[in-house]
Structure 1
Amino acid sequence: MRAAALIGTVLGVGHIRPASGTWGSLVALPWGWLLHVLGGLPLLVLGIVAAFFGGWWATARMTAGSDDHDPSHIVIDEVAGQWIALLPLSYAAWTRGMDVTAMWPGWIAAFVLFRLFDIWKPWLVGWADARGDALGVMLDDVIAGIFAAVGVMALAGLYHGVMT
């Protein structure tokens, strides 16, 4: 259970109050940057896959026998979702040989949009959350991350295509 708790709480970040999900998303930003710097887009994608499957396992272990299928101290789902929201930035930087931090407005947009979709839980995000199981815990943040990534791309297209 100790390994599950370390993974699920992202080394204890999930115990920070208030707004543990926001703290989980915040810690995902420098770790996402590090993955990108060390291995570009492929390593970030590998990190997402590892966070998803590790998080699914950890969440199932941590919630076994509990009525609470999504306790607030489990934040590995926020890490996976936040990294998905960063994918458009990592892709652009990796394919263009850019410094990923040069797109800092995109980082802010990815964070804000991910938190918005994760808290609001529109459409498929809410559907996944309503599953009431460990897979749903992970999927709602994956879908929120996808929605945020689409939003980041739309905002980048608006900025670069219309405003400049």
Structure 2
Amino acid sequence: MKNFAKYFATLFGIGFISLAPGTFGSLFAILIWYVFIDLFSIFYFIVLFFFVLSVSFYITDIYLDNYKKKDPSEVIVDEFLGQSIPLLFIVNFNIYEVLIAFVTFRFFDIYKVYPINKMEDLKGSYGVILDDIVAGIYSLIILMLYKILTLL
């Protein structure tokens, strides 16, 4: 289970990229989203998101216990989840919407505006994952504002 936790939490080792692993985690989410909407439908990406969400807290806790770190940079399943939140609302490929989702998520994830910064104080996997979930929700809000404004 230790090895599975390592591969799952680091998105198959992508998290070990030394330069900006969180950004690569976000890009991985976009790649997976694109493959799913191109080959299948958004429905299957939604199913994948909820599956990853449902097991990520447990698996991340295993990783944290084994490697004795609070919020290791190589754990990027949280970036996958956070970046996926705005992507869940992009049903067809639109480069502007994808760029807005990516840039705003990375901004909120890096700068940790309130209450994202408070999520990091939570213990274990909750502190690792929930800050990215909130950053993803903030990114989704910006994306929805963009969609509304472009309809006017």
TM-score (norm 2): 0.91
User: Following TM superposition, by how much is the alpha carbon of 1:54 offset from its aligned partner in structure 2, in angstroms?
Assistant: 2.5
User: 1-side partners of 2:141 and 2:52: how far apart?
Assistant: 21
Q: Is the 8 A contact 1:35 1:47 kept in 2?
A: no
Q: Secondary structure at the match of 1:74?
A: coil
Gaps of 5+ in 2: none
Matched residue, 2:118: 127
Pairing 1:158–2:149 present? yes
Question: Map of 1:78-157 to 2, 5 A cutoff?
Answer: 78-90=79-91, 100-101=92-93, 103-157=94-148
Superposed CA RMSD in Å reads 1.6
Q: Is the 8 A contact 1:9 1:15 kept in 2?
A: yes
TM-score (norm 1): 0.85
Matched residue, 2:57: 56
User: 1-side partners of 2:127 and 2:118: how far apart?
Assistant: 8
User: 2-side partners of 1:36 and 1:138: how far apart?
Assistant: 25
Higher helix share: 1
Runs (4 or more) in structure 1 with deviation over 2 Å come to 35-42, 65-68
Q: Would you say how many aligned residue pairs link Structure 1 and Structure 2?
A: 151
User: 2-side partners of 1:35 and 1:20: how far apart?
Assistant: 22
Gaps of 5+ in 1: 91-99
